[in-house]
Structure 1
Amino acid sequence: MIRRASVCKTPSDRSVSSVVGTILLLVIAVSVAGVILIGVSTWTPESPAMTAFELSADSDRSTITIEHRVGDTIDVRELSITVIVDGTELTEQPPVPFVGATGFDGAPTGPFNAKADPKWSAGERASFAVASTNEPSFKMGDLVRVRLVVDGQVIADLEAVAR
């Protein structure tokens, strides 16, 4: 009869085998966790391009100015603007681009002017003057909000206290 030699000859050999096995399992678990962590930390969901604007409202001249600070170029022919003064929408909203419109004085500046390039790029300012016949008028300290919408999507909801 042939006998096989046992790998573990003494009880202390068996102890070493279980410790080595446990350490090996821990190394594998830590390695897998590290790979998963690296994969998750480098993955970012797609987000819309960042666009930032800055709003100012000059109560002395009834002028609203919006600066396109960063982000994609916007075609103002696809832009809708809503102006809200202390919670109340203006009776007449600016129909950008325009030159002379009911509720507004003079011609707007920048890409809001119908005779200018309708592409509004980062770094450009656009402004318009609200006529005294357009209600509500704003005075110093009033909260002026402007909502910019393109294709039904709000791209900016801005607030400024009139100076």
Structure 2
Amino acid sequence: MAPRGVSPLVGVLCLLVVTVALAATVLVAVPVGSAPEPTVATFDAAADPTGEIRVTHTGGDVIDPEALDVRVRVDGEPLAEQPPVPFFSAGGFESAPTGAFNSATTTAWRVGETASFRTAGTNGPSIDPGDTVTIRLSVEGYSVAELEVTA
């Protein structure tokens, strides 16, 4: 029989061994640092005073339209309504965007393909001749491109 002072120490050591073994099991089962690789792609853009914005995928990774986020500014001021890409009909935009911006698109956005949408007259600021239009593209929260064009 062990002396009274040794029993609590043995109990604490057993609990410590069990805790370390469980922690090691969890570390092996859960991968650490498995963040997705950021998308790398290049684009070209155009905007005109009719409110049409066109973006062409010119190189790099294919883009999943469902993971895409588009933000537009005109002379530094964000549009009141931003395009909820992909979409078909949305407040602040004319219906039927094209390419990867259209919700009917079932394939990834590939090199050489152009996507476009047109702002509605109710969405401001309007795009006037000479305005600087900035289009920011993000995929899964990662900024992919910021394109600046003159209307």
Give the TM-score normalised by structure 2. Answer: 0.72
Matched, 1:133 2:119: no
Counterpart in the other structure of 2:44: 54
* Aligned-partner residue type, residue 115 of structure 2: A
**Matches of 2:85 and 2:140, distance apart in 1:** 14
**Matches of 2:148 and 2:136, distance apart in 1:** 9
Q: Provide the secondary structure at the position in 1 that maps to 2:123.
A: coil
Q: Larger RCO: Structure 1 or Structure 2 (Cα < 8 Å, ≥ 6 residues apart)?
A: 2
Matched, 1:117 2:111: no
The percentage of counterpart residues that share the same residue type is: 47
Compared CA separation, residues 117 and 107, structure 1 to 2 (3 A): same
**Matches of 2:46 and 2:116, distance apart in 1:** 9
Counterpart in the other structure of 2:134: 145
* Aligned-partner residue type, residue 93 of structure 2: F
Compared CA separation, residues 82 and 49, structure 1 to 2 (3 A): closer
**Shift in Å, 1:122:** 0.6
Counterpart in the other structure of 2:78: 89
**Shift in Å, 1:115:** 1.0
Please list every run of 5 or more consecutive structure 1 residues that lacks an aligned counterpart in the other structure: 1-46
Give the TM-score normalised by structure 1. Answer: 0.67
- Count how many residue pairs are aligned between Structure 1 and Structure 2: 115
**Matches of 1:49 and 1:58, distance apart in 2:** 28
Q: Is the 8 A contact 1:67 1:126 kept in 2?
A: yes
Q: Provide the secondary structure at the position in 1 that maps to 2:95.
A: strand
**Shift in Å, 1:142:** 0.1
Q: Is the 8 A contact 1:100 1:106 kept in 2?
A: yes
Counterpart in the other structure of 2:65: 76
Instruction: Flag the structure with larger Rg.
Output: 1
Counterpart in the other structure of 1:64: 53
**Shift in Å, 1:49:** 6.3
**Shift in Å, 1:150:** 1.1
1:99-110 to 2 correspondences below 5 Å: 99-110=88-99
